[in-house]
Amino acid sequence: SQTIHQWPATLVQPVGSPLSLECTVEGTSNPNLYWYRQAAGRGLQLLFYSVGIGQISSEVPQNLSASRPQDRQFILSSKKLLLSDSGFYLCAWRRDPSSYEQYFGPGTRLTVT
C-alpha cells in the first residue's frame, strides 16, 4: 500500500533562517506531487507541483522553492524565512492520470519567530 511521509512534524525557526521540509512517498512510482500551505484561516493554498524528477511548477510567487531530486521525494525550501511563512505545510500525491483525488501527508507545523 502507498504511504506518504513528511518531516519534521513541527519546526520553530527564526526569521532569516533557511528551511528544508521533506516529503517522501512509498509504494508507488512516478506520482504527481504537491505542496500546499494552510494558514490560520484553514484554507489551502497550492504552492508547487511536480509531475516528475526535476520538474517543478509554481502556482504562486513565494519566498519558497521546491525540488524533486528523486522520483518519490519532494523538498520545500527557503533561503531566508519570513514571519508570513508560518503555517501548516502539507504534501500530497496523485496516484494516476485517470483519477484526480490527492492523498495527503501528516503535515509539518512551521512557526517562524
Partner 1 sequence: GNSVTQMEGPVTLSEEAFLTINCTYTATGYPSLFWYVQYPGEGLQLLLKATKADDKGSNKGFEATYRKETTSFHLEKGSVQVSDSAVYFCALSDLNSGGSNYKLTFGKGTLLTVNP
Q: Which residues bind partner 1 (CB under 8 A)?
A: 6, 32, 34, 41-44, 46, 49, 51, 57, 59, 90, 92, 94, 100-107, 109
CB of 65 to partner 1, least distance (A): 18
Burial (0-12, 13-18, 19+ Cβ within 10 Å), 104: middle
Distance of CA 86 to the CA centre of its chain: 13
What the block records as the C-alpha cell of 52 is 516528475
Query: Of 44 and 73, which CB lies nearer to partner 1 in the complex structure?
Result: 44
CB of 90 to partner 1, least distance (A): 5
CB of 58 to partner 1, least distance (A): 9
Contact 90, 77 (CB under 8 A): no
